[in-house]
Amino acid sequence: MTGTLRRRLIQVIVVGVLAVAVAVPWLTDPYTTSLLARTLVLGLVGVSVALLTGVAGLPTLGQTGPYAAGAYAGALVGLHVSSVGVVQVLTGAAAGALFAALTVPLVVYARGVVVLMITLAIGELTVTAASRWRSVTGGTDGLAGMPAIRPVWGMGVLDSDQARYLYTLVVVSVVVAIVLMVLRSPAGLLLRASRDDEARMRASGHPVTGYLAAAFVAGGAVAGVAGSLLVTAQQYLSPADFGFDISALLLLGVVIGGATSIGGAIAGTALVIAVRDWVSGQLPGHAPLVLGGLFVLTAYLFPRGVAGSAADVAALFRSRARTRSRPGDPGPDRPSGSGPARTDPARTRSEVPG
């Protein structure tokens, strides 16, 4: 009964948010629209961060690597090969996946804080390489002058901020839908089980390293798509788009969104980017100080993110109701393959993505 109600509520919220998102170009000015397009792009990178950090249990600060690879690949295709959006998006996805596949041996054997360090090093090296490889990336001057794209063959050229925003919205929605479908499939279950109890999964004969590697490459492809969308949304690329601060903001957004929730990742990233832009408009020059305070506050107030804390409260109520009716029942919301004693609260929660 409450499950159906909850699902209805989520459906209503999703439809409402999508309706507002589609209507935005007619409600605001072109500048805000282009800002929102860029926010959507970063939200999609946030989805790839949440996929790795929350679902697969590989906390990453380096998704800017495949993001940059996808962006530069998309921009180069746009400059020299094709102005068709689908081609650029697929090139971006391929470049991001390839980047992730090349770096996956560095990451996949490590866990926890080591992953954070290795991914951060990879992301930063990518930015350094991008700013020095002038012949391809334009160095710190950046790449500009990509021709306007047409989404598919035969369609008109996207020459307004509104059109580019709607194109970004469509691609982001499609990719997020694919990610959600995969996470609801047995593949998502295997991934969450590997995160929750790796030893047990290995004992059952599951190639956990292979699952994690596949998730890492998939996350790279998602970030690569976001990179190719950035080219469209921003029409300009520079290494500053892939800096360390972007990685940290993405991680903050994903943590605020609850780390395991895909929708929460987009909402959290959007919130963080909005706060950054608003603060730098209101208090020019003091944005880092305020943002730094926001990071510290988030660490204290929402150790598992707003969505995670909300889920905690909900789970508390549910478990109380259950204890009254059937004491000792572990309940359906625990993964059946989980071990009895798990100490890290951020990794013990079972969740439905979305």
Partner 1 sequence: MTGYAARVTDAIDPYLIPALDGVAYGLLLFVAASGLVLCFGVANILNLAHGTLYAVGAYTVAALADGGWASLLLALAVGVVAGAGAGGLLAGLLAPVARRDHLTQALLTFGVALAGGALLVAAFGPDSLPVRIPAALEGTVEVAGHRYAAYRLGFIGVAMVIAVLLALAVTRTRAGMLVRAAVDDPEMVASLGVNPARIRIGVLCTAGALAGAAGVLGAPIIGPAPTTADTVLLLSLVVVVLGGLGSVRGTLLAALAVGEIQTLGVALAPTVAPFLLFAAMAAVLAVRARGLPGRGLRLRWGGTT
Binder among 255, 262, 266, 272 for partner 1 (CB under 8 A): 255
Segment near partner 1 (CB under 8 A), from 30-38, 112-120, 151-159, 330-338?
A: 112-120
Smaller CB distance to partner 1: residue 45 or 172?
A: 45
CB-CB contact of 74 with 91 (8 Å):
yes
Smaller CB distance to partner 1: residue 62 or 188?
A: 62
Smallest distance from partner 1 to CB 335, Å: 19
Cα-Cα-Cα-Cα dihedral sign, residues 24, 170, 173, 251 = negative
Segment near partner 1 (CB under 8 A), from 79-87, 99-107, 168-176, 179-187?
A: 99-107
What is the x/- site pattern for partner 1, positions 193-232, by CB under 8 A? Answer: ----------------------------------------
Smallest distance from partner 1 to CB 260, Å: 12
Which DSSP category does 53 fall into? I
What is the x/- site pattern for partner 1, positions 49-68, by CB under 8 A? Answer: ----x-----x-x-------
Which residues lie below 8 Å from residue 205, measured CB to CB, with a gap of 6+? none
CB-CB contact of 125 with 248 (8 Å):
no
Q: 193: which 2 tokens?
A: 């089980």
Segment near partner 1 (CB under 8 A), from 165-173, 230-238, 292-300, 308-316?
A: 292-300
Does residue 33 interact with partner 1 by CB under 8 A? no
Neighbours of 238 (CB within 10 A): 18
What is the x/- site pattern for partner 1, positions 294-313, by CB under 8 A? Answer: xxxxxxx--x----------
Question: What DSSP string describes 12-25?
Answer: HHHHHHHHHHHHHH
Does residue 153 interact with partner 1 by CB under 8 A? no
Number of residues that bind partner 1 (CB under 8 A): 51
Tokens 């950046």 sit at which residue?
142
Q: 159: which 2 tokens?
A: 């020459």
What span, in angstroms and rounded, lies between the C-alpha atoms of 273 and 37? Answer: 12
What span, in angstroms and rounded, lies between the C-alpha atoms of 37 and 219? Answer: 20
Smallest distance from partner 1 to CB 348, Å: 11
Q: How far is CA 239 from CA 135, 344, 347, in A?
A: 14, 36, 33
Does residue 24 interact with partner 1 by CB under 8 A? no
Does residue 31 interact with partner 1 by CB under 8 A? no
Neighbours of 66 (CB within 10 A): 37
Which residues lie below 8 Å from residue 13, measured CB to CB, with a gap of 6+? none
Residues that bind partner 1 (CB under 8 A): 53, 59, 61, 105-118, 120-122, 124-125, 128-129, 132-133, 244-245, 248, 251-252, 255, 259, 286, 288-289, 291-300, 303, 344-347
